[in-house]
Structure 1
């Protein structure tokens, strides 16, 4: 038995990568899961994996850019699992490229899937968390937003920095309802990172040399288990912060 047993988490982008790693870590603690993602088959596979750990899991197809999909996901979690105690805003489309190269459409897709989806889900889960005595919301950022050289990362960094501001506001406005809001900045062995490495091999080599722990984070063991710890009572006084899970690379001070 763990302190999180019987809690309910909603995770976006749960079909692979960090979302799947977080789902597996929470399942090991007895957390029931509403798993959402664009490709239902991938999310169903994550559901199968977490159910092997003895928890309930519901897989739903969800485009985080669609407000109706987000509302439906929250409604399903409340109706079929009893509520929402933990929200993991993981899904994100990434608009990389020089400013002159990024289209309006790509920038808007990044904004809609990032800070706008985060904003919408935060508001959707808030009343359900309040009714259950509180909860924890995790938003995701990137060290791309604080690079010394922003060339090629301006649009991506802009939407990730916007998400950090939403975290600070949520923490300030909802703390008295015992709702904590945190920003996570991870480096992990995700499909997105692997694709970036393939397309930017020289930059990737230089990038990895700046990680003091000299490795990329593991999806479940490093990122997922950190989320578990942050949900626990030992860290219940922590809110509004940006937490780098990147082997000591970035400086968010």
Structure 2
């Protein structure tokens, strides 16, 4: 039997990239996926592929920066699918710029789409994750953070690192506060071949090659095979004692200490 049979997963930003890879991998282990994001055409493409593979999924259009939209999305998923067992907070607007040119609007968007949306969704999903645990299952939260915050030189990454580190601390707090409710909360710090990574590689091949040379495994991870399958394992009972951890899924590039 698949490891996640009968589980329901709510995955933000799953219309493309790492979020899509996670959705595919969770569905491959038997979970029903709520594919959540802003662009319906991308969400529907993910749903179509999951169904083509024999899985189950629904598309849920949602601007995660809007509190009302998040509440409606959670309500819709519970009404359609019967609950939520797994929450993956992946969507994030990325505020990249040196500090002197980093606009307050960009930083605010990073905050609203990152730690604020993450906290809102964790709180909205908490009763459903707790209910799953009470009924012989387990609730799982996986928040996506970044190794950019671990760089020795974070020039140009300050805003992005700041919002992602806020998410990482919320992850740790939830892990400590909600473990008694049967909910495990972990963060991953992935290096995946997302559309953004692919675009950067095409635009700056020499810079990208130099970056990849710093990865011991000498490659960027595949969104489904490397990142997604790890998440599928992390939320399964195979990792039932893993809680409150920040795990780099990056081929060995980062040393978290």
For Structure 1 versus Structure 2, the TM-score category normalised by the shorter chain is: over 0.9
Q: Which runs of 5+ in 2 are unaligned?
A: none
Partner of 1:78: 78
**Which of residues 249, 252, 256 in structure 2 aligns to 1:252?**
256
**Which of residues 162, 167, 173 in structure 1 aligns to 2:177?**
173
Partner of 1:226: 230
- What RMSD over aligned residues (CA atoms) do the two structures have, in Å? 1.1
CA-to-partner distance for each residue in 1:206-238, whole Å, 9 max, x for gaps? 211110011110111101110111111121100
Spell out the pairing of 1:32-181 with structure 2 (5 A cutoff). 32-133=32-133, 134-181=138-185
Q: Distance in 2 between matches of 1:245 and 1:200?
A: 23
Scaled by the length of structure 2, the TM-score of the pair is 0.95
Q: Distance in 2 between matches of 1:190 and 1:90?
A: 12
* Shift, 1:56, TM fit: 2.4
Q: Which runs of 5+ in 1 are unaligned?
A: none
2:189 paired with 1:203: no
Q: How many pairs does the alignment contain?
A: 253
Scaled by the length of structure 1, the TM-score of the pair is 0.97
The residue matched to 2:10 in structure 1 has which SS? strand
The residue matched to 1:217 in structure 2 has which SS? coil
Partner of 1:240: 244
Q: Distance in 1 between matches of 2:240 and 2:20?
A: 24
2:11 paired with 1:7: no
Q: Distance in 1 between matches of 2:162 and 2:205?
A: 24
Contact 1:4 1:29 in 2 (8 A): yes
Contact 1:89 1:139 in 2 (8 A): yes
Q: Distance in 2 between matches of 1:206 and 1:106?
A: 28
